[in-house]
Structures are given as C-alpha cells and as structure tokens.
Amino acid sequence: MKLNDVVTWGRSFQEYRNMFLLSDDELQKPILGCSDGPASFNAELTKIGGKVISADPVYRFSTGEIRKRVVEVCPLIVSEVSKNRNDYVWEQILDTDHLIKARMDAMELFLTDFEQGKSTGRYVEASLPDLPFETDAFDLALCSHFLFLYSRHVSLEVHLNSMKELCRVAKEVRIYPVVTLEGKPSEHIVPVISELKKDGLYVSLRKVKYRFQKGADKMLVAKRQVMHTSDGTSQGKGLNLY
C-alpha cells in the first residue's frame, strides 16, 4: 500500500452518530470502526469513556506522513466537490468553507490522538477482508465510506468476504453509504443482502440522519437473528462460515 494512493478524509464523532444512528446506549458498547482513516470518532468517543478500536491499513504510516497526505488531499477533494456541488445537500454542511473546517478539525483531533491511541491498541493496522480480531470481539462494527461507495474498484467477492468477516467479529454491522461515488445504488447491494440472508442474518436498509452526498440517506444493517431456547435463554444465529 502506498500513501499516495490513499484519500485521507476524516469525519467527526457527530457525523458518525448521524451516519449510523448511534444511540447513547450503543456508544457504551465495544465498537469496531473499520476503514476509519483519519476520522476523529475514536478520539472523541474515547475521551467520553467509550470502548472503540479503529482498523485501517493507513495506520502503518506515521503521524507526520498522514498529516502530509491530509494537506495534499484536502484541496483536491474540495475542488472536486466545488465542481460537482449539485451532487451534494448543503444543509448540515453549509458550503465548501464549512466542509474544509469540519474535515480538518476532525482530522486534527485524530492526528493529535494517533500515537497515543496506537500505543494502547486503539488504532490497528488492518484491512478487509481479513481482520485480526476474535469472533464476537465487538457488539457493533461500523464501516464508513468504503464498501459499496467504491464498487467500481472493489469486487463483489471482496464485498461478500468483507461483510462475512465483519459479521464474524461483531454481533451487528452497519455500513454507510450504500451508494457509489456517482450517487447511484451499488451494484453489489442486492447480491450482498441475498448472500447474508442465506447465511441466517437479518439484513435491512435504514434511513439515517446524515445528509451530504445526494442519495446517500441509508445504511445497511446486518445482525444475527436471536433464537430463544427451551430454557428461556437466547442465542444469536451466526454465519455458516465452515
């Protein structure tokens, strides 16, 4: 992996709350943020007592290297957004100046937290579809702006294997968005949902509060169906992995 190939663009804790409809109770559970990049979700949630691990291949690089790439990428992304401003909803984010400030503030929080967080295991160098975590390590796994968004570059096979891996390490998985960079529903969404349902998972699309890219108003939720046993206890029905 080369850092020059990475789009380092981080979102804030509040944006994660809106993208994934995270409740106060859910924020107290063990959470995995997959493909978090330079988002400030980990730093901000940790500060208020949350238990979160972020996984991303970009974490192999140093703070200085990531900061340099952030500075390089920012004007390129803002230029693209400005040229295609009709593809965005300018309500929660008001204009390009607001966008720059929101993103740079979030990424600065990440950069300030990165070395300390990496030393304590909160930032883990890892990439889908192979994660270095135990089965059921997390109550909730979140994946922002990777799966489905980059459907032209990431195959259906990788999507399926990534979803199964996320469902292995977490009891519930939430993916946002489910549209491509062009704002169209991902070609992978239907076969992914079909395959997960075959594996015994409950899968749904839910409206979210986050609004920026037009058409990106839903997340995919995959979780194990709870089966009640004769003794009154409940068990989660997992994936048929073997």
Q: What is the DSSP string of 98-126?
A: HHHHHHHHHHHHHHHHHHHHHHTTSEE--
Q: Which domain range does residue 83 map to? A: 3-237
Helix, strand, or coil here: 89? coil
pTM: 0.91
Q: What is the mean pLDDT of residues 119-130?
A: 98
Q: pLDDT tens across 186-222, in order?
A: 999 999 999 999 999 999 999 999 999 999 999 999 9
- pLDDT at position 9: 82
Q: Is residue 182 part of a domain?
A: yes
Residue 47 lies in a domain: yes
Query: 34 lies in a domain?
Result: yes
Whether residue 55 contacts residue 143, with contact meaning beta carbons closer than 8 Å, is answered with no
Closest CA to 105 of 84, 74, 62, 61: 74
Which pLDDT score is estimated for 229? Answer: 47
* Buried-exposed string 90-99: b where 16+ CB fall within 10 A, e elsewhere: eeebeebeeb
Residue 242 lies in a domain: no
CATH number at residue 172: 3.40.50.150
CA distance 126 to 124: 6
Statement: residue 86 has pLDDT above 80:
yes
Tell me the CA distances in angstroms from 143 to 6, 64, 165, 234, one per residue in order: 16, 25, 12, 27
